[in-house]
A and B are shown apart, each in its own frame.
Chain A
Amino acid sequence: MKILVCISKTPDTTAKIAFTDNNTKFAGDGVQWIINPYDEWYALVRAIELKEKDPATVIHLVTVGLADTEPIIRKALALGGDEAIRVNGENADPFYIASQLAEVARQGGYDLVFTGKETIDYNGSAIGGMLAELLDMPYISLAAKFDLNGSVATIVREIEGGEETDEVNLPVVVSCQKGMAEQRIPNMKGIMGARSKPLKVLEPVAIAPLTSIASFELPPAKAGVKLVSADNPAELIRLLHEEAKVF
C-alpha cells in the first residue's frame, strides 16, 4: 500500500490579507505560513492512521513550491510519513500544479492519493479533480470518512444537506475534509525524526499555465453595525423586514 499526500502551504488563518505591486501580489512578508489545515488535519492524519493499522504502508508527501516551502513539508514529516518530494516549481495555476503532482504520482505508482478539500488562500477546490483526471482515476471529493477493506475503499462524502457512501476500487484520488481524522500535534520524537527523513527535490515538467491572476481586490468596508436596544428586539425584526427586506 503506497499513499501520496499532497501538502500545500498557506498563510495562517489569522494572517492579515493585503496586497502589493499594484494589487497583483499577496503581501506575504512577515506572514506566518502553515500547512493548509485540510492537508494537515485530515489528509495527512488519516494516511498516518492507515499506516498505524497496516505498518507495511508507505506514505510519501509531495508539495509543489520553491525552497521556501521546505519548512512546511518538514513540519508535515514531523507528524508522519516516510519521505517527501518537493517539485521545485512556482504556484503558477491549478492546472500547472495538478500536472506536476500527476507526474510525481505516475512515477511513484500510488494506490491512494489524498489532497485537502481546498487551499484556504486561493480556495480553488480544483487540484484534486484535475489530478484524478490526469491520472484517469476515480475521484471522491469532500470526503468525511475513509475506510479500506483490501483494495476496496468505502468513502463517505458530503452532498447538499446530507452525505453519500461510495465504494470504489483502488487506486483513487480523495479530497479530505472534517470528519476524516482528528488534528494531531507533532511530538519531539517526530520533530527530531523528520530531520533525517529523505526530502527529494525534483525539477518541474514543462507545463504552460492556463490561467493567471490579473489582480486582487479587498471587499468594501462594512458601513458599520446598526445597534438596536436589547429592550426592543421587535424593532430589529421590523428593520430586517422593512429595511433589509430579508424576509
Chain B
Amino acid sequence: MSVLIYIDHSEAQIKKSSLEAICYGAALARQLGTGAEAILLGTVNEDLAALGKYGVTRIYQVAGEALQHLDSGLFTKVLAEAVPATGAKVVVFSNNMNGKALAPRLAARLKAGFVSGAVALPDTASGFSVKKSVFSGKAFAHISLKTDIKIISLNPNSFPLTTGEGKAEIAPLNIAVGAPKVKVVSATQSTGQVPLTEAELVVSGGRGLKGPENWGMVEELAKLLGAATACSRPVADAHWRPHNEHVGQTGIAIAPNLYIAIGISGAIQHLAGVNRSKTIVVINKDPEAPFFKAADYGIVGDAFEVVPKMIEAVKKLKGIV
C-alpha cells in the first residue's frame, strides 16, 4: 500500500528534482497513512542512507552496469517487477527529462492511471485526483485516477524541499536486468553552469539586447546571483545564444523562484514557458510591453542603463566591492 519514489541520477549523481519527488512522495504517504520508500536503479556516488532526511524509510536498489544510463524499455521491465515486489500502490517520478521517458512507459505496462506534470499533492478526500499544469501553464486540470496502481510525475520546482531527521535502510532488490537496446555513445553537459531546468533563479534576455555582444551584463548578473541564463526564441534562432537556453512554448518550460526578463516583450508563446515562475521581474523600455501584465516587479527603462546598476546593487548586497 506504500508510496514508491523513483530516484533519477546521471553521472552517478542524484538529481535535485528527484529529491523534490521524494519530499512529495513522503508527504503523500503521510496523507494516506502509509509508508514512503524509494527505488534506485544503478549506483550513485552519494550516501543513500542520508536520503532518509527527506522522509523515506527504505531505499530499494537494483544494481547493474546496464542501469547507469537510461534505457526506458529495460528500466520499465525492472520497475514493473519492483512495484508489486515492494507492494507500492502509488509510484512518484520527477517529470524531468528521464522521467518523461520512463513514467508513461511504466504506466502503460502496469495499466496504471498516470498523471504527468503534477503541481500539488493529490486530493484524496473522495477518490484520487491530481492537479496538473495544462495549456502550457495557462491553466490547471484535476485528473482522477481510478486504477489500483497510480503513477504521478511531479513538475520540477513545484514542491518544496524539506528535511528532517532519519536514515533510510538500503534494501538490495534482486531483479534480473536484461540487455539494453539503447547504446549511449556520448553525453555532454555544460559544466560550471546551473542547468536551466534545475535553476532556482534565471536571468533571461530578448531581442531588446540588440546583439550577442551585449550579453556580458546578463551573464554577470546571473553569475552574481548563482542563476542560469535563458533567452527568447528569436535570440536562439539568430544564434546569439545557444538553443538550450531558449524558453517558451517551443523551448524549455521552467518554473524557477525568480525569472528576470530583460528586453523581452512577453509574447504569449514566451510566457507559456515561464509563467509558472514564482516571481517575475521585467526590465523593458516600453511601458506597454505585454510582459508587465505577467510581472510581479518591473522597471520601465533602458536595459543598458538599468542592468549595470542592478549588478552594482547585487555586489553591494553580497559584499563584493
Pair B140/A237 contact, Cβ less than 8 Å: no
Q: How far is the CA of A162 from the CA of B187 in the complex (A)?
A: 7
Query: In the complex the two chains form, is B104's CB within 8 Å of A94's CB?
Result: yes
A137-185 residues with Cβ-Cβ distance < 8 A to B are: 137-142, 144, 154, 157-169, 177-179
The answer to whether A216 touches B190, judged by C-beta atoms less than 8 angstroms apart, is no
> C-beta contact mask, B83-122 vs A, less than 8 Å → 1, else 0?
0000000000001111011111111110111111100000
Pairwise interchain contact B105-A133, C-beta atoms closer than 8 A? yes
Residues of A within 8 A of B12 (CB): none
Indicate if the CB atoms of B73 and A222 lie closer than 8 Å.
no
CA distance A11 to B135 in the complex (A): 9
CB nearest neighbor in B for A221:
B293
Q: Which residue of A lies closest to B135 (CB)?
A: A17
Report how many A-B pairs have Cβ atoms within 8 Å.
281
Query: In whole angstroms, how far apart are the Cα atoms of A135 and B98 in the complex?
Result: 20
- A131 and B277 CA atoms in complex are apart in Å by 32
Which residues of chain A come closer than 8 Å to B189, judged between CB atoms? 159-162
| Least distance between A129 CB and chain B CB atoms (Å) | 3
Q: Which of A163, A164, A210, A234 contacts B113 (CB 8 A)?
A: A210
Please name all residues of chain A whose beta carbon is closer than 8 Å to the beta carbon of B193 when the two chains form the complex.
161
**A210's closest neighbor in chain B, by CB?**
B113
Are A167 and B187 closer than 8 Å at their CB atoms? no
Which stretch, A56-64, A69-77, A197-205, A239-247, touches the partner chain B?
A239-247
Query: What distance in Å separates the Cβ of B46 from its nearest Cβ neighbour in chain A?
Result: 16
Given A129-B72, A161-B196, A210-B114, A167-B299 contact (CB < 8 Å): no
> In chain A between 14 and 33, which residues have their CB closer than 8 angstroms to a CB of chain B?
14, 17, 19
Q: Would B102 and A178 count as touching, CB distance under 8 A? A: no
Q: Which residues of A lie under 8 Å from residue B30 when comparing CB positions? A: none
Q: Report Cα–Cα, A226/B114, bound state, in Å.
A: 39
Q: Which residue of A lies closest to B76 (CB)?
A: A133
Q: Which of B97, B250, B313 contacts A141 (CB 8 A)?
A: B97
Known contacts A120-B249, A133-B76, A230-B301, A237 near B135 by CB under 8 Å: no
In the bound assembly, the distance between CA atoms of A55 and B309 in angstroms comes to: 59
- B188's partner among A41, A127, A162, A223 (CB-CB below 8 A) is A162
Q: Complex: how many Å from CA A161 to CA B230? A: 12
Contact of A92 with B by CB under 8 A: no
In the complex, A215 has a CB within 8 A of chain B: yes
Question: Quick check: A211 and B146 within 8 Å, CB to CB?
Answer: yes
Which residues of chain A come closer than 8 Å to B314, judged between CB atoms? 237
Residues of A with C-beta under 8 A to B195: 160-162
CB distance from B167 to the nearest CB of A (A): 27
Complex contact B129–A230 (CB within 8 A): no
B142 near A228: Cβ-Cβ < 8 Å: no
B193 nearest CB neighbor, chain A only = A161
Per-residue A-contact encoding for B163-203, CB less than 8 Å = 1, 0 else: 00000000000000000011111111110011111100100
Asked whether A226 and B297 contact (CB < 8 A) given A126-B104, A139-B72, the answer is yes
Known A227-B298, A234-B313: A168·B135 in contact at CB below 8 Å: no
Select which of A13, A139, A160 is within 8 A of B10 by beta carbon.
A160
Q: Is there an interface contact between B297 and A129, defined as CB atoms closer than 8 Å?
A: no
A134 touches B182 (CB 8 A): no
A132 touches B97 (CB 8 A): no
**A residues less than 8 Å from B188 (CB atoms):** 162-164
The answer to whether A138 touches B197 (Cβ under 8 A) is no
Interface positions of A (Cβ within 8 A of B): 11, 13-14, 17, 19, 37-38, 41, 94-95, 98, 120-134, 136-142, 144, 154, 157-169, 177-179, 210-219, 222-223, 225-230, 233-234, 236-241, 244, 246-247
User: Please, could you name 14 A-B residue pairs with CB atoms under 8 Å apart, sorted by A?
Assistant: A120-B136, A120-B272, A124-B116, A128-B104, A138-B181, A141-B101, A160-B15, A161-B193, A167-B182, A168-B183, A178-B251, A212-B146, A214-B143, A240-B297
